[in-house]
Structure 1
Amino acid sequence: MPQPVFIESIGLLGPGLNGWQQASAVLLGHTPYVPAATELPLPAGLPPAERRRTGPTVRLALGVGQQAVAASGRDAAQLPTVFASSSSDGHNFHAICEALAQPEPLMSPTRFHNSVHNATAGYWSIAASAMRTSNVLCAMDGSFGAGLLECVLQAGADAEPCLLIAYDTGYPEPLHSQRPIPHPFGVALLVTPRPTPRSLARLAVTLTQAPATAMPDDALEALRRAAPAARALPLLAAIARAETATVVLDYLDTLQLEAEVASLGNHANA
């Protein structure tokens, strides 16, 4: 049995999912799932000049991260972070490609610094005044699984809390046709090495070759498959149910993550 860690709080934004309290009712089946545009908040904590430079990707990542931190009551500046995204800022990449295709290509400095995969982590460090370590990962459709594995191992090895922020916003056309991610989706998990009074669930992760767990609701399953960060939905549903359960999450082509989840009775406190 691998060393368990604990989920203390959750942040969540997606189509028809606006925060853990509302989303957990949907995942429990108490409220029908009604797809709607993802509500992206303004990036709190950034100075006006930095806020103007941000796009949907930064607003999504900061939004879910700040939800999780607020629910935990912790100081965001003191939390190591893991960021995971399959594509980062696809709209910014599209704009750069358009600019480079012009007869006289000109590159905006803002576009350039937003193009790197760790740009979101940089904005987070400014908004949270954070000076702790930050890892930024990409693993195509397994990006959430890669981020979760990194966060779990880091929290266990360093014996301190770690914040996972996974997010995807997709691309405009023509890139959308090649890599369709129709809806922004982001999730944040605050992982601790020991249980706390706020802990929602105990989590133990191992590797497996079993197929990934599907969502029983067709619309939620379509969402799970559409956005790499939404591969978190089976895990989130297990936490919402406040039961002991095992779910399998996408990771690599032939290797998945098996997550054993046990409720600690605080499922309403996220």
Structure 2
Amino acid sequence: MNNFKPTNEERRFKAHVSIFGTTQLHLRNPFIIAWWSAAFPGFGHLLLSKYLRGYTLFLWEILINVMTKLNLAMVYSFTGNFEMAKEVVEPRWFLLYIPVYLFAIWDSYRTAVDLNKVFLLAERENADFNSYSIGAFEINYLDKRRPSMAVLWSLFMPGMGQLYIHRVATGTFSLIWMIVFVYFSNVLIAIHLLFLGDIPQATQVLNPQWLLFIPSLYGFAIYDSYVNTVENNKLFESEQRKFLSENYQQYRVKIPSKQ
């Protein structure tokens, strides 16, 4: 249940608080957004809170990358084994990869530019928005959080930093896929063997096709949680400033001067 009812006079809102998270507009660098889309299609759109498009591109990247064996080919290329890299790549899937990859970069850049313009209009209008939401399963409200704590929890496990700032959808999505990547990459088995001193076996047991997904997810989780914590704090201060100004600024406190 929200404590806010929009009117027909309000065209744009800076934010929306729901039980699933806080979605807000703020200025973003389009080149940074495009870079994240290049690092992993879908991440740029998730940073823009374009969740349906971001999840679709993310799942597409996993499917095509695995079927193409692109990560495995990259590992062979990095180690100088170019002939083996050519052999493992599946061309029937690889040709599907390029157009959607380029679209993800272009569309995230274009959307970031457009949303920056929308934010400037919404900031000028400064319309009221709901700052508190309560439902049968969750409660969400604007509050100030520590960016360093969001980064710390993301370092422990991608997704927990987002849960700390109540980005439930992105946090749950990141946690689930981190489990998938860790399981299929055998990274925990490799760490166990490394502790036992069996370095050759630890290296051999790793699955590089799935292992190369993990650094991108870690980097995205850290960056996303940090940026959104900072912007949520700004949004909280902006909402508080407007509320106090509209409800209490008319009351002038007269401080008697000392004679």
TM, length-normalised to structure 1: 0.28
Which has the bigger relative contact order, CA under 8 A and spacing at least 6? 1
Q: Would you tell me which structure has more helix in proportion to its own residues? A: 2
Structure 1 or 2, whichever has the larger Rg, is: 2
TM-score by length of 2: 0.28
